[in-house]
Amino acid sequence: MTPRSFPADFVWGTATAAYQVEGATTADGRTPSIWDTFCARPGAIADGGSGQVACDQYHRYLDDIALMAELGVKAYRFSIAWPRIQPTADGTLNQAGLDHYSRLTDALLAHGIAPVATLYHWDLPQYLEDAGGWPARDTAARFGDYAAVVAGALGDRIDTWTTLNEPWCSAYLGYADGEHAPGRRDHPAALAAAHHLNLAHGLGVQAIRAQAGGTARTSITLNLQVLRPATDSAADQRAVAQLERIGNDIWLGPLLDGRYDERLFSDTAHVSDWSFLRDGDLAQIHQPLSLLGINYYSSSTVRQRAGAVPPTWPEAHSRPWRGAWPGCETVEFLPPTGPLTAMGWNQDPSGLTELLLSVHRRWPELELMVTENGSAFDDQVADDGSIHDRERVAYLAAHIEALGQAMAAGAPVRGYFAWSLIDNFEWACGYTKRFGLFGVDFQTQARIWKDSARWYQALVRTGQTPAADPAD
Ligand code: FCB
């Protein structure tokens, strides 16, 4: 691959999320989130693990920042655990929890690393789930309060705010499919959750701007779906369009254009009457954004099931809900084709180029940031203690080249965050999947340089992609 150069001010970073790395789940007044509860449910997590200890970053953040400084990254995307900030149902501020993020932020700044803070990376306080969770409207208002508290305290130091990480996962994996916390399977509730997440974002942006000033940089991170039709038949194209509406436009429409596509209502008419959508909500959601964060890992191929017709309302409501995609009973996903990552996901770098360009064509003024991209492989520690993760290096190289192609074609992408800084708790997969540039020995908490970290270090230092194989 010919080396590709990136602009000098391009932001190279790494990303993590609170529940995946922090551990210390009862320290300094933190109370349970839906993930603590979900992890205790037998069978919910592949290896029975939880985030109770994870990478212990709550205590080791200075060591991890030192690693990032050595890596040379300019930004760290971390998330703030809501149940550390407001651990009780009355929403009282827990100063000790807030102080942790204040120290983390200061330490990043002292190392010249820009703090990119996500307010919600899936760890809803359990007391809010007990009160209805995201399907309940009040959760959005509570998020607005939480955002105001954090922005009031850290607003002068955070480089970029991200309200929500991947609301697709919160709504559909959490409430439709049940693979993620809180593990509910209720498609009408999942659609209400989607809307209330949008509303939470809008209220959050307003709170950040009110507290941190109108120049605060605000964003949201979406895992936009790249969907390919199995054939070029009209039916398969329709399947793609329907999934794009429920997977992508349900966020992009209200966030960026202040409206829901009417077809979203007809696609899901047998699931929900959308009575949770109230007058004035779209204006609350449609707030100015400094940039859009995009997470990309893989693409999917889909088709319309032959002869399938959507169920009617009584049928749909009279049997258990299945799958992550509300209203999409007649559509099916084809098995991914290899080579796959350890997650079973395909590797399709061109999907990243296409995705960035398609968003850019629709919203030419909008700045973009790749807020997550990376891969899990079954890393082996060599006899000399090192990890030679050639496949991850190749994945990174191919996707960063794809990013470069999108930028060369005009997409205004300002940064890229490798997922992840370190191996960590990979949600329902527990500790069985490793995404880190650094390995973690979970017995000793030692961080181990992988070849991918060396490769990324060379890229960050020079602004130019090194040879894909570090041995070359
Ligand atoms: C994304 C999540 C992130 C991580 C990666 C692998 O969906 O945002 O926390 O688990 O997948």
Residue 148 confidence (pLDDT) above 90: yes
Residue 469 pLDDT class (50, 70, 90 cuts): low
DSSP single-letter state for residue 173: I
Mutation probe of ligand 1 site: the residue of 118, 295, 347, 421 with most atoms within 8 A of C-beta: 295
What is the pLDDT averaged over residues 208-223?
97
- Beta strand pairing status for 11-15 and 291-295? unpaired
Residue 472 pLDDT class (50, 70, 90 cuts): very low
Angle at 100 between CA 99 and CA 103, to 5 degrees: 85
> What pLDDT is attached to residue 169?
99
Residue 57 CA, distance from chain mean position: 19
pLDDT digits (tens, 9 = 90+) for 157-211: 999 999 999 999 999 999 999 999 999 999 999 999 999 999 999 999 999 999 9
Instruction: Give the bridge partners for 291, in sequence order.
Output: 219
Residue 306 CA, distance from chain mean position: 33
Residue 271 confidence (pLDDT) above 70: yes
Element (H, E) at 373: strand 368-373
pLDDT digits (tens, 9 = 90+) for 46-76: 999 999 999 999 999 999 999 999 999 999 9
Residue 116 confidence (pLDDT) above 60: yes
Residue 468 pLDDT class (50, 70, 90 cuts): low
pLDDT digits (tens, 9 = 90+) for 71-108: 999 999 999 999 999 999 999 999 999 999 999 999 99
Atom of ligand 1 nearest to the CA of 427: 10
pLDDT digits (tens, 9 = 90+) for 367-415: 999 999 999 999 999 999 999 999 999 999 999 999 999 999 999 999 9
Q: What would you report as the CA-atom Rg of the chain, rounded to the nearest whole angstrom?
A: 21
Is the distance from CB of 139 to CB of 200 less than 8 angstroms? Answer: yes
> What pLDDT is attached to residue 123?
98
Domains by residue range for the chain, with CATH: 11-225+347-462 (3.20.20.80)
Centre of ligand 1 to C-alpha 227, Å, is 19
Is the distance from CB of 397 to CB of 1 less than 8 angstroms? Answer: yes
Distance between CA atoms of 431 and 450, rounded to whole angstroms?
17
Answer whether 164 contacts ligand 1 (Cβ < 6 A): no
Percentage, residues of the chain above pLDDT 90:
98
Angle at 18 between CA 97 and CA 87, to 5 degrees: 35
Percentage, residues of the chain above pLDDT 70:
99
Mutation probe of ligand 1 site: the residue of 119, 426, 432 with most atoms within 8 A of C-beta: 426
Beta strands in 59-141 (DSSP E): 75-79, 114-120
Q: Which two tokens stand for residue 183?
A: 């593990």
Q: Which two tokens stand for residue 336?
A: 């991914």
> What pLDDT is attached to residue 467?
78
For the full predicted model, state whether its pTM sits above 0.85: yes
Centre of ligand 1 to C-alpha 428, Å, is 11
Answer whether 166 contacts ligand 1 (Cβ < 6 A): yes
Is the distance from CB of 207 to CB of 120 less than 8 angstroms? Answer: no
- Least Cα distance to 144 among 210, 218, 200 occurs for 200
Distance between CA atoms of 32 and 25, rounded to whole angstroms?
7
- The residues carrying an active-site annotation are 166, 372
Burial classification of residue 284, based on how many CB atoms lie within 10 Å of its CB (0-12 exposed, 13-18 middle, 19 or more buried)? buried
> What pLDDT is attached to residue 1?
78
